[in-house]
């Protein structure tokens, strides 16, 4: 086959696989057998070592596949198979059917990030045909969109699946710019439980709204302290770790002593600051307030991932920049699984097709040319990293 017809064939394969993936409404927090079967049908072929790694939920799995020598360290290409819901969004097309209009392919997850996943899978026959001196691993996680809940189970299983990986490319949408870092995040909900009663005598109940309000002010003061005292990292905007109260709910009527109040907040931290440590300060304050007022307290972590610090060795990012013709970007405002790979000792760079500005919105799309650019970048990157 000549180069042009091979290019057309792999492009058509990527579009077909993308259509299959978009056709599955793989919402996070739900069983994912259908999307796992779809990935398996592309990966279960001679020469591919294919594994699924079940999460503790029992009904959803990560997918991990390796091509090339088993006994040598290699590189991971990483994506997630879940997509955010479409409820409340006004789509011009069926979000769960890939719809072509000109160069654009519309559908939920086209950019975030089934387009990248489709590119990895479409290249499997080419990876198999390459003379790989190092393995290439294809990793697809579940439940990324609700706080990177799935990938941790796959990362924990890595030592049994392959040699220590030399690097990881997380294909979140970055317009194929290699991205070095992002902030970490933790979101949590705090619920105070008091005692209801008639408002005519507030002494007869325990008002749960007051402690929620007190904790809100603790959050505000802690956020102000971080802004003034740092630590700071000028690579981010803002350059400090931030904290915000996002949702507050409580009470039923003005003449009932409110027995329940719930506060949801998030913290976003620069590299070197643990979101878990900041959240622990909030939790300690909540426990103090609850104990002082003899209230019930429930704490629920909603999502958490660590920051991705810039890599010590910029080699992988430089290679991606050279091969994509796109500049290295210092940081992005969104979070990814790259922070978790990094925390497990795998140097990680974010680099994927499409723009993050289209993600999570109505009429999400990717273009055929973006898929084509991603295919050629992955082909050349794997060839440089793993051959010879």
Residues making contact with Zn ion (CB under 5 A):
112-113, 172
Least distance from Zn ion to the Cβ atom of residue 238, Å: 23
Least distance from Zn ion to the Cβ atom of residue 36, Å: 18
Least distance from Zn ion to the Cβ atom of residue 129, Å: 29
Of the pair 113, 140, the CB lying nearest Zn ion is at 113
Least distance from Zn ion to the Cβ atom of residue 112, Å: 4
Of the pair 17, 113, the CB lying nearest Zn ion is at 113
Of the pair 207, 348, the CB lying nearest Zn ion is at 348
Of the pair 42, 172, the CB lying nearest Zn ion is at 172
Of the pair 172, 175, the CB lying nearest Zn ion is at 172
CA 43 vs CA 36, 40, 138, 161: distances in Å: 10, 5, 9, 16
Of the pair 113, 307, the CB lying nearest Zn ion is at 113
| Residue partners of 39: CB distance under 8 A and separation at least 6 | 63, 81, 117, 121, 140
Least distance from Zn ion to the Cβ atom of residue 120, Å: 14
**154 and 62 in contact (C-beta within 8 Å)?**
yes
| Residue partners of 64: CB distance under 8 A and separation at least 6 | 50, 51, 52, 53, 137, 138, 139, 140, 154, 157, 161
CA gap 261, 368 in Å, rounded: 49
The three-state secondary structure class of 40 is: helix
Of the pair 275, 335, the CB lying nearest Zn ion is at 335
CA gap 364, 104 in Å, rounded: 10
User: What is 173-217 written as a DSSP string?
Assistant: SSTT--EEEE-EEEEEEEEEE-B--BTT-GGGSB-SHHHHHHHHH
Give me the residue whose beta carbon is nearest to Zn ion: 112
CA gap 141, 39 in Å, rounded: 11
Least distance from Zn ion to the Cβ atom of residue 361, Å: 13
Least distance from Zn ion to the Cβ atom of residue 249, Å: 28
CA gap 33, 239 in Å, rounded: 41
CA 135 vs CA 321, 330, 338: distances in Å: 22, 28, 19
Give me the helices (H) in 251-314, please: 275-292
Distance of CA 387 to the CA centre of its chain: 29
Of the pair 108, 153, the CB lying nearest Zn ion is at 108
Least distance from Zn ion to the Cβ atom of residue 354, Å: 10
CA 178 vs CA 9, 161, 168, 230, 352: distances in Å: 26, 27, 12, 27, 8
| Residue partners of 322: CB distance under 8 A and separation at least 6 | none
**Between helices 33-43 and 3-22, what is the axis angle to 10°?**
160
Least distance from Zn ion to the Cβ atom of residue 172, Å: 5
Least distance from Zn ion to the Cβ atom of residue 364, Å: 11
The three-state secondary structure class of 46 is: coil
Of the pair 113, 338, the CB lying nearest Zn ion is at 113
Of the pair 322, 358, the CB lying nearest Zn ion is at 358
**160 and 341 in contact (C-beta within 8 Å)?**
no
**10 and 375 in contact (C-beta within 8 Å)?**
yes
């Amino acid at each position: 086959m000549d180069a042009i017809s091979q290019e057309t064939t792999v492009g058509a394969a990527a579009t077909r696989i993308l259509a299959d993936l978009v056709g599955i409404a793989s919402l996070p927090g739900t069983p994912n057998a259908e999307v796992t079967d779809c990935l398996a049908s592309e990966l279960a072929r001679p020469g591919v070592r294919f594994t699924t790694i079940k999460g503790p939920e029992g009904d959803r799995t990560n997918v991990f596949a390796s091509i090339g020598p088993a006994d040598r360290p290699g590189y991971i290409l990483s994506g997630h198979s879940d997509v955010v819901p479409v409820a409340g969004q006004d789509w011009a097309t069926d979000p769960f059917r890939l719809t072509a209009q000109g160069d654009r392919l519309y559908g939920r997850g086209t950019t975030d990030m089934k387009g990248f996943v489709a590119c990895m899978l479409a290249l499997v026959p080419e990876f198999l045909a390459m003379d790989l001196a190092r393995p290439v691993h294809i990793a697809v996680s579940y439940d990324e969109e609700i706080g990177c809940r799935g990938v941790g189970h796959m990362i924990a299983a890595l030592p049994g699946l392959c040699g220590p990986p030399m690097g990881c490319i997380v294909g979140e949408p970055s317009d194929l710019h290699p991205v070095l870092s992002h902030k970490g995040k933790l979101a949590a909900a705090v619920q105070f439980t008091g005692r209801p009663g008639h408002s005519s005598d507030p002494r007869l109940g325990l008002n749960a709204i007051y402690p929620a309000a007190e904790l809100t002010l603790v959050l505000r003061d802690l956020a102000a302290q971080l802004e003034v005292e740092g630590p700071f990292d000028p690579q981010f905007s803002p350059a400090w770790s931030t904290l915000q109260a996002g949702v507050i709910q409580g009470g039923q009527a003005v003449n009932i002593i409110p027995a329940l109040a719930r506060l949801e907040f998030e913290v976003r931290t620069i590299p070197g600051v643990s979101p878990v440590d900041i959240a622990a300060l909030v939790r300690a304050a909540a426990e103090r307030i609850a104990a002082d007022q003899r209230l019930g307290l429930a704490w629920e972590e909603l999502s958490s991932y660590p920051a991705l610090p810039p890599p010590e060795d910029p080699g992988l990012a430089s290679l991606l920049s050279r091969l994509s013709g796109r500049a290295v970007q210092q940081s992005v405002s969104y979070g990814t699984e790259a922070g978790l790979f990094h925390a497990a000792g795998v140097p990680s760079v974010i680099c994927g097709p499409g723009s993050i500005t289209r993600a999570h919105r109505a009429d999400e799309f990717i273009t055929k040319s973006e898929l084509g650019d991603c295919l050629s970048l992955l082909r050349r990157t794997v060839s440089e990293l793993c051959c010879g």
